[in-house]
Amino acid sequence: MQSRLTGIGMTSERTRIRMVERLREQGVVDETVLLAMQSVPRHIFVDEALASRAYEDSALPIGHGQTISQPYIVARMIELLRNGGSRSKVLEVGTGCGYQAAVLARVCSEVYSVERIGTLQENARKAARELRLLNLRFKHADGSLGLPEAAPFDGIIVAAAGMQTPPALLEQLAVGGRLVIPLGGRDQVLKVVDRTPDGFHEQTLESVRFVPLLGGLE
C-alpha cells in the first residue's frame, strides 16, 4: 500500500516535484496549493495503465466519458477559490475520480463533493480512504442542485461546464464566499463569482475546456 501511494519511476515524488516546478513556471503562486499538489499522489486516481502519464500537464480519461483535469487547471481553480486566504467549508460539484477533492481536502477544513455517476463516486471514496482524508465527504447526487443540507459554503468549485451558473449554487454560497465555475458550450471561459452583502460580483478569466455539466443520476 505504501509503495502505491509513494510511487516509483514516473509516479515517484520526484516526478510530483517536477510537476509543481512546472506549475510555478505556469504562474501558480499559492504555496499552500502547490504543497497540496505535491502531497497528493495523482497516479492513484487514474487507471493503472495511465499511471505513468499521471503527472503530465494533460487531462486523462477516467471512464464514463469523464476526464481528470490537467494539473494546471486544478491548481489554478483552487488558487482562485482561496484568493490568497483560506476557505473552511467548500463544495465541489463533479467529484470525477476524486483528485481535485483530495487536493481541496489538504487546503480546506471541510470538503463536500457531489458526483452524479455512482461508479466514479465510489472509486473516489476508496481513494480518499486510502489517503485517510477524514475531512472529505462524498454524496451521489445531482451537482447542479448543490448540497442544500450542508449549505452555506464559503467556497464552491465546479468541475464541469454549464451554459449558465446553476441558481442553487448561488443560493448556497455564503456572503463573503466565492464560486469558481467554467461556463459555455464549444467556447468555455472560467468565471469567478463573489458574494458580497450587496449581491454577486462576477469576473471572466481565461478560456478552458471541461466536460458538460449534466443533471440526473447514473
Cell numbers for 104, please give them.
481541496
Taking a C-beta distance cutoff of 8 angstroms, is the pair 158, 131 a contact? no
Facing residues of 68 across strands?
60
Active site annotation includes 39: no
| 8 A C-beta contact, residue 30 and residue 84 | yes
Instruction: Determine which one of 69, 109, 113, 207 is catalytic.
Output: 69
Active site residues: 69
